[in-house]
Amino acid sequence: MLIEHEGRRPQIASSAYVAPTAVISGGVTIGEDSRVLFGAVVTDDGGGVEIGDHCVIMEHALVRGREGHPVRIGHNVLIGPFCHVNGAEIEEGAFIATGASIFPGARVGRRAEVRIHGVVHVNSDLPSGAVVPIGWVAVGRPCQVLPPEAHDRIWSIQRELDFPGTVLGVPRGADGSTPMSDAMAGYAELFGRHRSDRILARQDG
């Protein structure tokens, strides 16, 4: 399904394929011979999405551009099933495996791999050719790749990367907590902007 959001429409190469149950919303550009499979959602929520040539966005993946953090996906990239790519840059030839999460402000370098359920945290920079093992976390600039049980070390780096400001648009409280009432008010306003969306013809006409 193709959707116009706030006047912005998807631009899809004629050689690309979008499955009938996928959703492409707003300022999304999809390159030659790329594929968006069943149940995937690619959405411009205040920031555009650019998908290069020969990319595959697999079943039930979410790719979201946001204000200040558009998504840019280079050529020959695989985004696996149930992935979450939010406001990030993924360079050419990268492999993002099933269930991986890439957060706003992150960059995944050329030919890097984020394996099953791996995480590249907010405002973190995974170098070209690097690997995030299954379930591990890449965090920081310069990036460190750490196992999930290294929570205290991950937090000591993540704390300085401004997750609440980058992702939720609110400052972290003096006690380190995030005021969710403020965050959810902002999110409700952001996603409420879809009320005026217009469904366009399906890609197959």
User: How would DSSP label each residue in 75-111?
Assistant: SS-EE-TT-EEES-EE-TT-EE-TT-EE-TT-EE-TT
Give yes or no for residue 128 having a pLDDT over 50.
Answer: yes
Distance CA 64, CA 70 (A): 8
pLDDT level of residue 175 (50, 70, 90 thresholds): confident
Q: Are the CB atoms for 93 and 110 separated by under 8 Å?
A: yes
User: Which of 127-141, 163-177, 188-202 has the largest mean confidence?
Assistant: 127-141
Q: Which domains does the chain have, with CATH numbers?
A: 2-199 (2.160.10.10)
Weakest mean pLDDT among 22-26, 91-95, 176-180: 176-180
* Paired tokens of 92: 């050419």
Read off the DSSP letter of residue 176. Answer: S
Query: What count of other Cβ atoms lies within 10 Å of the Cβ of residue 191?
Result: 11
Q: Are the CB atoms for 6 and 203 separated by under 8 Å?
A: no
Residue 185's pLDDT is what? Answer: 86
Per-residue pLDDT reduced to its tens digit, 56-74 = 999 999 999 999 999 999 9
Distance CA 25, CA 131 (A): 31
The whole-number average pLDDT for the span 49-60 is: 98
Per-residue pLDDT reduced to its tens digit, 7-23 = 999 999 999 999 999 99
Weakest mean pLDDT among 79-83, 117-121, 173-177: 173-177
Residue 205's pLDDT is what? Answer: 44
Residue 165's pLDDT is what? Answer: 86
* Paired tokens of 46: 């205040």
User: Between 79 and 196, whose confidence is greater?
Assistant: 79
Query: Please, which residues bridge with residue 79 across strands?
Result: 57, 96
Q: For residue 119, give every residue at least 6 positions away whose Cβ sits within 8 Å of its Cβ, in sequence order, or none.
A: 100, 101, 102, 103, 132, 136, 137, 138, 139
Please report, rounded to a whole number, the percentage of residues in the chain having pLDDT higher than 90.
79
Per-residue pLDDT reduced to its tens digit, 154-168 = 999 998 898 888 888
Q: Are the CB atoms for 76 and 94 separated by under 8 Å?
A: no
Residue 203's pLDDT is what? Answer: 52
Q: Are the CB atoms for 70 and 53 separated by under 8 Å?
A: no
Tell me: cis bond preceding 142? Omega within 30 of 0 counts.
yes
Please report, rounded to a whole number, the percentage of residues in the chain having pLDDT higher than 70.
97
Residue 180's pLDDT is what? Answer: 84
The whole-number average pLDDT for the span 4-8 is: 92
The model carries a pTM of 0.93
Task: Give the side-chain half-sphere CA count within 13 A for 48.
Answer: 13
Query: Please, which residues bridge with residue 83 across strands?
Result: none
